[in-house]
């Protein structure tokens, strides 16, 4: 499955740290046969990929549309539609389907969201859905809460 991770507040904190478990979870998802992509509304974040040594784990880096999500994929050079997205921005998750995560800010925070993301992806691959309340089906309506 083609899984797209957002950058700011999803895998990267305000202090430039990676969310705990990011490397382990991306590694596991890749080992399971998924393709991991990194995208951001701020553009192609190669500097983050390089700084945190994510390159061996990912299949591409793109700019993320922040509105008219499906319509703008072409314009931004995203060559296919994401099959599953992980984002702290609920509208993106509702548009493509995936996991909404609470924003991550600082390394000191206790955070097990990456384990939860991994479980939801596994649920989705096995059953096409997930019971977890942070899972959003493609085409969900917002507001989500």
Among 29, 82, 85, 88, binds Mg ion (CB under 5 A): 88
Closest to 26 measured CA to CA, from 11, 36, 39:
36
6 binds Mg ion (CB under 5 A): yes
Indicate the SS3 state at residue 59: coil
| Distance from C-alpha of 97 to C-alpha of 139, rounded to nearest angstrom | 7
111 binds Mg ion (CB under 5 A): no
Instruction: Compute the least distance from the CB of residue 27 to Mg ion, in Å.
Output: 22
Of the candidate spans 18-26, 45-53, 81-89, 90-98, the one that interacts with Mg ion by CB under 5 A turns out to be: 81-89
Among 3, 4, 5, 8, binds Mg ion (CB under 5 A): 8
Indicate the SS3 state at residue 135: strand
Question: Which CB sits closer to Mg ion, 100 or 124?
Answer: 100
Using CB under 5 A as the binding rule, the residues of this chain from 23 to 62 that contact Mg ion are none
Q: Evaluate whether 21 touches 112 at the Cβ level (below 8 Å).
A: yes
DSSP state of 80: S
| Distance from C-alpha of 40 to C-alpha of 35, rounded to nearest angstrom | 17
Of the candidate spans 2-10, 17-25, 59-67, 137-145, the one that interacts with Mg ion by CB under 5 A turns out to be: 2-10
In the complex, the residues that contact Mg ion under the rule CB under 5 A are 6, 8-10, 88
């Amino acid at each position: 499955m083609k899984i797209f991770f957002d950058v700011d507040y999803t895998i990267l904190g305000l202090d430039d740290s990676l969310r705990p478990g990011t490397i382990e979870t991306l590694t596991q998802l890749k080992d399971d046969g998924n393709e991991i992509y990194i995208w951001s509304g701020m553009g192609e974040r190669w500097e983050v990929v390089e700084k945190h040594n994510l390159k061996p784990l990912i299949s591409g880096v793109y700019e993320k549309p922040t509105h008219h999500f499906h319509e703008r994929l072409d314009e931004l050079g995203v060559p296919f539609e994401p099959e599953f997205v992980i984002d702290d921005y609920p509208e993106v998750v509702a548009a493509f389907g995936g996991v909404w995560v609470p924003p991550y800010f600082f390394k000191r925070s206790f955070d097990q969201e990456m384990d939860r993301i991994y479980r939801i992806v596994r649920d989705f691959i096995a059953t096409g859905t997930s019971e977890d309340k942070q899972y959003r089906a493609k085409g969900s309506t917002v507001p989500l809460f």
